Amino acid sequence: MRLYIITKRNLISIGFCLLIGVLAGAIAVTSTVRAVQSAAAQREIPIYYVDTDKKQVALSFDAAWGNEQTEHLLEILDKYKVKSTFFLVGDWVKNYPDSVKDIAKHGHDVGNHSNTHPHMTQMSSSDMVGQIQSCNEKIKELTGKTPTLFRAPYGDYNNDVVKSVNGCNMYCVQWDVDSLDWKDPTPEQIKQNIMKKIKNGSIILMHNGAKNTPEALPTVIEAIKSEGYEIVPISQILLKGEYYTDVDGKMCSKTATQPSS
């Protein structure tokens, strides 16, 4: 059996090695944290909801394919004196020009939902811009106005998508409240999906072609109003002037204190 004698010199050497190891580990952790913070700071995030003290929310409808329910939805919105936002795909605009004109005539925002509803994250930046501009041109031809709001198909975005939208002088808008009407829940479930998540500045996602949306819409509007909220188009709920979006997609004014990156 061997005996190991630990001398003072051995202890100093061991302690020095341990110190070096701890320092190396701390440097590695710090570098990792900084890298993560840097990546988060550089990430481009669309507007999911708005930082506001006003009890306002925005209803929005995506229109990509069918058109059987649009007229009925407009009638319901008129009945309750509610203005909303419709995000239209360029192909839909081409197929249903009268509906596009009706949406604009009734005072609703007409937003851009791309030209052909592709996964834009799989496209080049120039093709993204082409999708945006082609749809804008079709809408302007029918309404006389160029859209300022864009929603990515499937809610699918990356830095290039957001930068391309911003480069077209438009707002890239998502949603923080999903009605899930596209899954064909009951009207009551649609209402509950919305009411359990709604807050000041919320942007609500619905669709013009979902099975139970027309039946659900009156109860949704009544429930929102009963909670003291005003329903406005997205263009009215967005903040004026320079803004930034935080990590949750909240639109915040740059005139307020902005967190350092």
Domain edges within the chain: 8-42, 49-253
Q: For residue 257, which amino acid is it? A: T
Residue with tokens 């596209």: 182
pLDDT tens across 211-257, in order?
999 999 999 999 999 999 999 999 999 999 999 999 999 999 998 65
Distances (CA, A) of 181 to 23, 67, 118, 177, 201: 54, 16, 21, 11, 21
Residue 114: closest CA among 98, 134, 97, 142: 134
Model confidence, pTM = 0.83
Residue with tokens 């819409």: 217
pLDDT tens across 144-174, in order?
999 999 999 999 999 999 999 999 999 999 9
Classify domain 49-253 at the CATH class level.
alpha beta
Alpha helices in 96-231 (DSSP H): 97-105, 125-143, 159-167, 187-195, 213-226
Residues tagged active-site:
62, 207
